[in-house]
Amino acid sequence: MPIAEAAATGGVTLATVWLLGVSMGLTACTVTCLPFMGTWALGRASGRTEAFLHTGVFLAGRVATYTLLATLAGAVGIGLAKALGGVWGNAAIGAASILAGLWLLRSPARRCGVPPRLTSQPVRLHRKRDSLPPLFLGAALSLTPCTPLASLLALAAQAGGPAGGAAYGLAFGLGAAMTPILVLVPLAGRLGREMRAGRAWLARWLTWTAAAVLILLGLRRLLLA
């Protein structure tokens, strides 16, 4: 039964919304998000722990944003979908991608094998802050205009209030987190490590190239805004 028809007949459940999220996570989410997160992990040559951490933070940003959007839709209605589509979504994605690219460039020495004691900040503090670009990317990419997002907001607008909308948004976000990105991003980080092994000169070029790709992806999104 189509989502709109199910909503009209009161047949929509949290399981239905979760499956809608899963369908997006296994298809559109991977195609849209992998160029950003894959490039980030490749440029950083992320180890297994960091790759899974950043992927988890990225997905947490998506779940939180879907929940927030659905909560707002439940409170103010379907007009939110039109307000956040197109211009605002692409602008947010562009800004987050450019930020991630600049983040890769801000401390290339630490990523290219220079001892931690030569960097300007403690390694532990660096690692905590390094989770911010994946978080911002996850939040921004949740604004990508698409049919599943429009369906979610339409359902949330009919949920009877912010609480019902939040429940739909959370269910949708958890479904969307079921994505091949959980495997593909760590593989991109492993590829980056293998490419850098024993090649200090390549480490810098790989970081700079990944940063340039993220910045270009961001500029392209801004041009679409």
Residue 107 inside a domain? The answer is yes
Return d(Cα 216, Cα 222) in angstroms, integer. 10
Return d(Cα 1, Cα 187) in angstroms, integer. 37
- The angle formed by the CA atoms of residues 71, 15 and 143, to the nearest 5 degrees, is 40
Residue 44 inside a domain? The answer is yes
* Full-model pTM: 0.84
Residue 48 inside a domain? The answer is yes
Residue-by-residue pLDDT tens, the chain, 225 positions: 444 444 443 568 999 999 999 999 998 889 999 999 999 999 999 899 999 999 999 999 999 999 999 999 998 887 766 676 667 888 999 999 999 999 999 865 444 444 444 344 444 445 668 999 999 999 999 988 888 888 999 999 998 899 999 999 999 999 999 999 999 999 999 999 999 887 777 888 999 999 999 999 999 999 886
Residue 186 inside a domain? The answer is yes
The pLDDT tens digits of the residues spanning 85-129 come to 667 888 999 999 999 999 999 865 444 444 444 344 444 445 668
- The angle formed by the CA atoms of residues 44, 64 and 20, to the nearest 5 degrees, is 100
Domain residue limits at 57: 10-224
Q: How many other C-beta atoms lie within 10 A of the C-beta of residue 34?
A: 17
Residue 1 inside a domain? The answer is no
Cite the beta strand spans of 46-147 per DSSP E: none
The residue among 225, 75, 86, 71 whose CA lies nearest residue 152 is: 71
Return d(Cα 220, Cα 225) in angstroms, integer. 9
Domain count, the chain: 1
